[in-house]
Amino acid sequence: MDPIRRVTAPMVDVLEALLAGTEPTWGLLVIKATGRPPGTVYPILERLERQGWIRSTWDDDPDRSGPRRRLYEFTVDGAVAARALVDARVREDRAAVRSAGVTLPTTRPVVR
């Protein structure tokens, strides 16, 4: 598995969308989840596959009508690396926001 040399916001969005799923997912779902255009998402998926982070297979469900879907899922090492990369990016973003003096919302419950 090759490291990702250039991490962009669209790349992080695609990784987060893939990490959110529990089963292999197809490109259109990634596009919908990220809000990114196909011309951005599919090249990222292809690069992730070339680098060994994900693998793809064709959906051969005979009961489904329409064109075949290409399903994407993480390799074992790819899932670990993706989680680490996304977590690191979140930490960097929060640190940048804190240094700018902005308060981030919290997910902690309000205690009275």
pLDDT in the model for residue 97: 67
pTM of the model: 0.81
Helix (H, G, I), strand (E, B) or coil at 110: coil
Q: Which of 81, 87, 60, 68 is nearest to 27 (CA)?
A: 68
Model confidence at 66, in pLDDT bands (50, 70, 90)?
confident
Tell me the per-residue pLDDT of 22-43, one tens digit each, with 9 for 90 and over.
999 999 999 999 999 999 999 9
Q: What is the band of 94 on the pLDDT scale with cuts at 50, 70, 90?
A: confident
Helix intervals (H) in 1-112: 9-20, 27-34, 38-50, 76-99
- Other CB atoms within a 10 A radius of the CB of residue 69 amount to 19
Q: What does the alpha-carbon distance between residue 29 and residue 108 come to, in Å, rounded to a whole number?
A: 30
Is residue 5 scored above 90 in pLDDT? no
Q: What domains appear along the chain, each with residue ranges and CATH number?
A: 9-91 (1.10.10.10)
* pLDDT at residue 62 in the model: 84
